[in-house]
Structure 1
Amino acid sequence: MNKLNQIGLQKEDSKQIAEQLNVLLANYHLYYQNLRGFHWNIKGVYFFQLHDKFEELYNNALTKIDAIAERILTIGQQPLHTLSDYIRISSIQETSHISDGMAAVTATHENLTVLLGLEREVLSLAAETGDEGTVSLISEDINENEKTLWMLKAFLS
């Protein structure tokens, strides 16, 4: 029996990576939806800045969601795709009725911190198993998310 998937990685390793990627995918979906809510509901003196920033962030998150799901498929596994699965396995919680700018930025910072931690876990496993495609995808995201965290922290200061 062949132990390699269609791109030459160990099937069992790919299964473990896909499980972690699915957790990341679920968390990204909650992060994305929270950002949409912030974008729609933001009020106050920071409205113009934050309305645009949240749109930028959710568009970026949507791109990452697609890339993560496609990576799961590339390594021969199936991405989760139901909201109930996302809510069940996500560490990020739904937010509702947040219209205050500082509260929305704080929640975004907290959500992004969760994503960064999950990305580092995926990166570690992918590096251990020689999955350079996943390493490349996640490394790029980590760099971008670290910069965004820095900017959010500066805004909150």
Structure 2
Amino acid sequence: MEEMPRDHRPAVSVRILLAGDGGATGGALALLLGLEPGFAVVAQVDRSAEVVAAAQERRPDIALLDAVLPDGDGLEATARLLAEVPECRVLLLTGSGHPGLADRALAAGAVGLLVKDGPHDELVQAVHRCLTGETVIDPALLPPADPTAPPGR
């Protein structure tokens, strides 16, 4: 009896939930991540209210949430998601940095904050790093260094 060909995708995929712009940007991100070896986009939602139900049903390893969702904010969605599916990691994506956003994201339970239009390879690396327990904050979102501080030597 001849053996059936095996799928060449890795046996274990990182299961990803996307929440945010369901338009061209969100679709492109889902497509790019789905093509990444070892990644599987298991759910994609447009609204904050859909995040928890999608996570409960699909059990993602990591959720990439837009910091601003059409019906609410990603920080609130992060807290709700982690209350219901605590094993899921949350990486927030933002279009721009706002003072204190990184601190608020971490306080809500997110493991990272990235600029959403950043390079794809940086997002892939950030996902892997977050899954190993690292906290990842895009340097562009950190407050500028204090210009009055003495130079380090």
Same fold (TM over 0.5): no
Higher RCO structure (Cα 8 Å, ≥6 apart): 1
More strand, by proportion: 2
User: How does the TM-score come out when normalised to structure 1?
Assistant: 0.33
More helix, by proportion: 1
